[in-house]
Structure 1
């Protein structure tokens, strides 16, 4: 064999001087995303034919010459608009940015990687708030370097980032503006207090402060004053007096410092007669009902007088809607439901809105107006895409501002909503609740004692004493207590102070089988006094692997394993998901102990274990959360699992990490690391995962001219997510295998063109515990150089 060439491996990709500096990924208008670029270098850069992309889409930024000058910002926009700096409207193939995290690539006209941005945020991230880099030298591929914009507007396009760690000699900021009293009355004087701070490093002098009030489209100056000198890090407080007639106003304060976007601040106020604005509150919102047309909003009269809402309206970002043009009285302390369509079954007065505002499933901002347009109450909330259907958001407190997202949380009642009654989130005098219930171990052995743990909390205002808890065998399998259930044991609950919790343990022993256990409190307040769990005593059939997104759409399959000691016959068993139930087979189909079997959508060949085509297949979700159930002929759920798809690669199965951990835990599932993309009829590839991150390449070097392919396997911890790419030594992307740990490379690039002989870099992107790291390994192509 000849001596080959020396293999040079780059330990990092050299990025250009143009960088991704700010990303608006979650605008309130879904089609108004944008990305800010910044030229941090010393020379101009022409971005003609450059591209911006994510793992799914690639867009040419501009197909003609476009120069970014040193120190200049530009905006790449999904929509046709203008900013304070040069703006490019990307008309097609925009890389739609994920609301909880994404990877954004910036490449030059030769497809060489210029910069990469990897951000990851929680599902509760607010709308119209960008992520920013703290320094131009920050590594954008590290999600920890992308910080929430701190500017009051939510973003800083075309300006220095709000989180940028830089100080100026003089930087004047209005940090707060308040009024006293908070609800002024007409023609009575109230005070406005403005705090101005010097965020710079030197003394600030010669600045002035202007206050104005805005009514409708008119702006009127209140007063302009010269500010005294403000030392570095110091602040001054200025007060103004004002008298206004009844109406809605905005009070605006601004300083004549032009640096940054912190030079003004405002506050909205309502000037009204005492008691003129009724204390009607929005207390609960059904924005994602099971039936899409059955949205509703609950109002509550917190006033001491009856209120007629004739002529009132409700608005959101899309417009205004009249609730009713006829008299509708809400008595003091009474609830009322405003519905989208005519609905029955509520226990309080109900009114069908004359012109409904369709509520967004991921969040909403609402304003309740009286007949003259005064804002009576407001509500704002945002939720994740995985929010369950039929579950409301409830106001946490009547006395906290509804225009505060922290004052809205998911309904805690098992029914998912509490229309016409006290919110599940509101404390009452005496109320204890079951907060969770579990069994240990997860699958007990037959006739061996196991523990059932019930967590109890005092969610009431006062100390709870004298309560009991009982555990029942759910004989009729209703999942709640009935007189037919069999009592196992009753225990006393110790006295609990408000917000105090305790755990009660029951010792239980049962023969092999599937059981439902119900825990019941002696407290009868609310519906938080019962809980149930299903316990499988003894090992039985388990789902171990799921092919939910095959290359050929109807080649879905599920692998099951008999972990018990007896044969299992699947005759008349069902398979189910959230959308329905289907029969696996009406005929006998035996799975022996320790044996795998495959349940298929259509007839498939090539399996080395028994397989069967389901009589009625449940089409598996390949874009979102999915739950799967195996149900025996007695209509008992014998096995249940769940997976959650996030940028999953096609034709790669989901493998269960452990059969001894709950299959409903989505963290118990990972993509197969097999070179074939799945491991039907054999032990899961994930079971051989290693703690150390390594790369096996066979052969290396390899000669495509001899028909050789390189098998590339990335070894990483079981809880890691792996993406694999190959670059040349200039940093140009050759092939992107996406979210696969095991891949075969034929020596061609993504366009099918053979790459030349030489050294290349395998880059494994590993995400673990919210942190992303990049690991580089050598690979060489040796065309015609092997004998």
Structure 2
């Protein structure tokens, strides 16, 4: 029977060169739950046709159509249960809806055949579910071409997964512009919107509009005019997130709506895209704050994050990556309030010893930290690196003499550069770690002023590690920073930063040692801080006194 139907298709279209007036145009062999199977017929001509006494068949059975008149360029949808279909689908009122004992369509391969009252084949559509997927209809791309291969029988691309009683979503139209994609990528992060002319007519101009939802209201953010696009041509427009969002808006999630508008566009459902984007900030202050890479047997590894932002940060979709490329993806519900912490652990047993870690806990067996050092990359949902470091066992306090199992690495202050070894030392808490709590060795930074140093005076003791923290506030949004420590005689003692990219606020650390690693003697030292504005080139210079005692 299957060979006979396929032979009839070739005869109808190939040998005689005839084109059927009524065609099998769309089928739903594997509908979603609650929706019945259905078949759509399409009248390709400009005149009506009466289908009374015609037959609809598959490879095993057939049923006769009732009295039915299909209007010019009109559609008929055949199903076993019209009530259920209307509950599941929005059928255009001009479409003819027919309830009958439709042959059961196979979930693998089958053919739907339309026959005249004398059983002569008018048209047929052969399908394989390998061409599509469950819950999505198979549509005929061109009604004028045979429907026996995936080149002309394709899965619906309509948002609803089907187009019963309407133009097929895969059928080309004379005028059709489609919004093909919306992505955020690059550094600085850039929003990119791609538009394609999927129509067949002569070129036409179009525009792209972007709205962002703020406090429940859609706000127009940007509009771009597209050049003339020929059929099949596409163009990408976009802008840096720093231009679309203010500094106060960065580091948050937003709903967006992007739309392409073109004159005489005949298909509207593919003109708009809505979704969620993360406004990546180049220097978003979420930092890696504590690392336990070598726990006691039976205890989990962990990495602690801290939020230095003024607002709560939603970490859903963020990732932590190691040197091997292994990813830990942070799930929904992990939101860090300002000054608070999130813990990424290899399993949930961390809360047995550290119950405070359960507040913002994300567990993943992919967290496998190397004991001899490893790379950690913290990325936002757009893949932008927010923080990074390569930790080493040598970051531990040397007085531990390598006995560091079960002891975490803690930052001296969360605002310090994560990649600097001088920002880290061994946890001093009896438990050996403080996930979800302020670090046991944390040194507060002084408040007020443009440049502050703490502690004052800076006490150094032979055989002990001590740190002087420098907190600065620059008059520039982004700058290149150089910071050096000089003796009273003007000799260079230590370079803390050399043409380093920084935000307006930041911190540095000095361990009281020279470039050669020698402890400086007591006395007065000068911190010279110089910054150049990244945009204007303007310069800022500050001198601070550091008094070293014993």
TM-score (norm 2): 0.49
TM-score (norm 1): 0.35
**More helix, by proportion:** 2
Specify the structure having the higher radius of gyration (Cα). 2
